[in-house]
Amino acid sequence: MNRHSATREVGCVSSTGFVNHSASDDWRCGVEQRDGFVPPVHLVPMIKSGGEPEWDNVPPIPCLLDQDGFEITDDDTAIRLAWRCEKLLLEATCEAESLVARPDLEIDSPDFWRQDHIEFRTAPDMTRDLAQVQLIIASDGRWVVHAGGVPLTGAEISANGTAVRLDDGRWKWRGSAEIPFKMAGLDSCTGGKKSFRGLIARVRWAGDRYDAACTTACELGFGQSERFGVFRLSEETAAVCLTRVRSDRLTLLNMSSETLRGTLEIVRISEQSEDVCAGRPLEIASGQKQIEWDAPVGWPAFTCVAFVWKSGGSQTALGSCTLRGRPPRPAASGRLGGHPCLLFDEAGLSSIRAKLALPPFTLIAAEETEEESEELPDEQPGQGRSPLDITPRCMNWFRVARETMLRDGEGGRDPAAARLWEVQSEKAHEAWRAIVREVKPPAEAVLTLVEEMNRLLRMRSLYDSKAFGRLRLPAEGRSLLGRGIANLGEDELIRFNRILLQSAIECMPPFRMDLVTGVWRFYERWLATGDHRLIEGACNRVKMALETTIPGHETHLHEGMASSCLALAYDAFCPTLGDEEREIWIQLMMRFLALYLETAGRRSWTVTTIANANAVGNAGGGLLALALWQERPEQAAEALHYARTHIRKWLNWCNGPDGGNTEGAQYWCYGMENFLRFALALKRFTGHGDGLLEHPSVRNMMNMVRVGLCNDGALHGMNDTIPMPVGGHIGWFAAGNHGDAFGLWYGDHAWRWYTERRKSGLPTPYRSGLAEALLYRPAAPEMKSQPKLPVCFCLRSIEYSILRSDCRFDCDWAVGLKGSRPPYTHHNQADTGAFYLDLRGERLLLDPGYYKANASDHCLPLIGGQGPCVPKGWTGVIVEREERGQLRWVAVDCTGAYGPSVRRVIRRLVMIGGRVVVLVDDIDADANVISLLQCGGPVSMEKHDILAVHGRKALLGIACFGPEFSVRMLGERPLRDVHWGYSFADARWFPVEVAYRASSERPFVAVFYDRTHGESSRCFVEYGEGEIVARLEGRAELRLVMTASGWRIR
Average confidence (pLDDT) per 10 residues, the chain, 1050 residues = 30 40 39 79 88 84 72 74 93 89 91 93 79 91 87 80 89 91 80 83 87 87 88 88 83 89 89 78 90 85 90 88 86 58 92 94 82 44 74 92 96 96 98 95 96 97 95 95 96 96 93 94 95 96 95 96 98 94 98 97 93 97 96 95 95 94 95 98 93 96 98 93 95 97 98 94 92 96 97 96 97 96 89 97 93 94 96 90 95 94 97 94 98 97 88 96 95 91 91 97 96 82 95 86 94
Helix (H, G, I), strand (E, B) or coil at 757: helix
Predicted local confidence at residue 220, as pLDDT:
85
**Range 9-323 has CATH code 2.30.30.30:** no
What is the C-alpha to C-alpha distance for residues 34 and 891, in angstroms, rounded to an integer?
27
Predicted local confidence at residue 30, as pLDDT:
45
DSSP state for residue 1024 in the 8-state scheme: E
Cβ atoms of residues 494 and 386 within 8 Å: yes
Tell me the Cα Rg of the chain. Answer: 31
Range 168-171, long-range pairs (CB < 8 A, 24+ positions): 169/97, 170/95, 170/96, 170/97, 171/95, 171/96, 171/97, 171/98, 171/99, 171/139
Phi, psi of 317, rounded to the nearest 5 degrees: -75, 130
What is the C-alpha to C-alpha distance for residues 458 and 493, in angstroms, rounded to an integer?
7
What is the C-alpha to C-alpha distance for residues 336 and 55, in angstroms, rounded to an integer?
62
Please list, in sequence order, all residues whose beta carbon lies within 8 angstroms of the beta carbon of residue 189, skipping any fewer than 6 positions away: 46, 83, 85, 86, 181, 233
Helix (H, G, I), strand (E, B) or coil at 343: coil
Predicted local confidence at residue 1033, as pLDDT:
81
Cβ atoms of residues 300 and 691 within 8 Å: yes
What is the total residue count of the chain? 1050
Neighbour count for residue 968 (Cβ, 10 Å) = 12
Predicted local confidence at residue 292, as pLDDT:
87
How far from 467 is each of 416, 420, 421, 422, 428, CA to CA, in Å? Answer: 5, 9, 12, 11, 20
Which residues make up the CATH 1.50.10.100 domain(s) of the chain?
Answer: 346-373+517-776
- According to CATH, the topology of domain 792-1049 is Beta-galactosidase; Chain A, domain 5 (2.70.98)
Helix (H, G, I), strand (E, B) or coil at 788: coil
Please compute, for residue 361, the number of CA atoms within 13 A of its CA located in the half-sphere on the CB side: 22
Angle among Cα 838, 843, 846 to the nearest 5 degrees reads: 100
> Which pTM value belongs to this model?
0.92
| Helices first, then strands: H and E counts in the chain | 23, 43
- Annotate 134-196 with DSSP letters as a single string: EEEEETTS-EEEEETTEE--S-S-EEEEEEEE-TTS-EEEEEEEEEEGGGGT---TTTS--EE
Predicted local confidence at residue 8, as pLDDT:
30
How far from 697 is each of 126, 721, 737, 835, CA to CA, in Å? Answer: 25, 19, 14, 25
Nearest to 198 by CA among 124, 303, 112: 124
Kind plus residue range of the DSSP H or E element containing 731: helix 728-738
Dihedral, CA of residue 751, residue 757, residue 759 and residue 763, to nearest 10: -110
Cβ atoms of residues 996 and 927 within 8 Å: no
Cβ atoms of residues 914 and 1017 within 8 Å: no
What is the C-alpha to C-alpha distance for residues 92 and 911, in angstroms, rounded to an integer?
60
Helix (H, G, I), strand (E, B) or coil at 943: strand
What is the C-alpha to C-alpha distance for residues 163 and 550, in angstroms, rounded to an integer?
44
Give burial (CB, 10 Å; 0-12/13-18/19+) of 220. Answer: middle
Distance of CA 760 to the CA centre of its chain: 35
Give burial (CB, 10 Å; 0-12/13-18/19+) of 390. Answer: buried
Which residues make up the CATH 2.60.40.1190 domain(s) of the chain?
Answer: 9-323
The 10 Å CB-count burial string (b at 16+, else e) for 143-173 is bbbbeeeebbeebebebebebeeeeeeebeb
Please list, in sequence order, all residues whose beta carbon lies within 8 angstroms of the beta carbon of residue 1039, skipping any fewer than 6 positions away: 1027, 1028, 1029, 1030, 1049, 1050
End-to-end CA distance of the chain: 28
Kind plus residue range of the DSSP H or E element containing 971: none
What is the C-alpha to C-alpha distance for residues 259 and 608, in angstroms, rounded to an integer?
46
The verdict on whether omega for the bond into residue 360 sits within 30 degrees of 0, i.e. cis, is: yes
Kind plus residue range of the DSSP H or E element containing 345: none
Which residues make up the CATH 2.70.98.70 domain(s) of the chain?
Answer: 792-1049
Q: Which residues are bridge partners to 710 per DSSP?
A: none
**Angle, helix 426-438 to helix 443-457, in steps of 10 degrees:** 140
What is the C-alpha to C-alpha distance for residues 333 and 326, in angstroms, rounded to an integer?
19
Please list, in sequence order, all residues whose beta carbon lies within 8 angstroms of the beta carbon of residue 619, skipping any fewer than 6 positions away: 560, 564, 643, 647, 674, 675, 677, 678
Of 3.40.50.300, 2.60.40.1180, 3.30.2140.20, 1.50.10.100, which CATH number belongs to 346-373+517-776? 1.50.10.100
Neighbour count for residue 56 (Cβ, 10 Å) = 8
Nearest to 905 by CA among 873, 870, 872, 866: 866
Predicted local confidence at residue 369, as pLDDT:
66
Cβ atoms of residues 816 and 664 within 8 Å: no
What is the C-alpha to C-alpha distance for residues 215 and 626, in angstroms, rounded to an integer?
34
The 10 Å CB-count burial string (b at 16+, else e) for 281-296 is ebebeeeebeeebebe
Predicted local confidence at residue 32, as pLDDT:
61
What is the C-alpha to C-alpha distance for residues 741 and 736, in angstroms, rounded to an integer?
9
Nearest to 937 by CA among 1004, 1002, 886, 992: 992
- Annotate 359-375 with DSSP letters as a single string: TTHHHHHHHHHHHHTTP
Helix H segments across 530-578? Answer: 532-548, 557-573
Q: Which residues are bridge partners to 304 per DSSP?
A: 269, 322
What is the C-alpha to C-alpha distance for residues 422 and 467, in angstroms, rounded to an integer?
11
DSSP state for residue 637 in the 8-state scheme: H
Cβ atoms of residues 101 and 115 within 8 Å: yes
What is the C-alpha to C-alpha distance for residues 446 and 941, in angstroms, rounded to an integer?
44
Dihedral, CA of residue 976, residue 982, residue 987 and residue 988, to nearest 10: -50
**Angle, helix 741-759 to helix 361-372, in steps of 10 degrees:** 30
Phi, psi of 811, rounded to the nearest 5 degrees: -65, 170
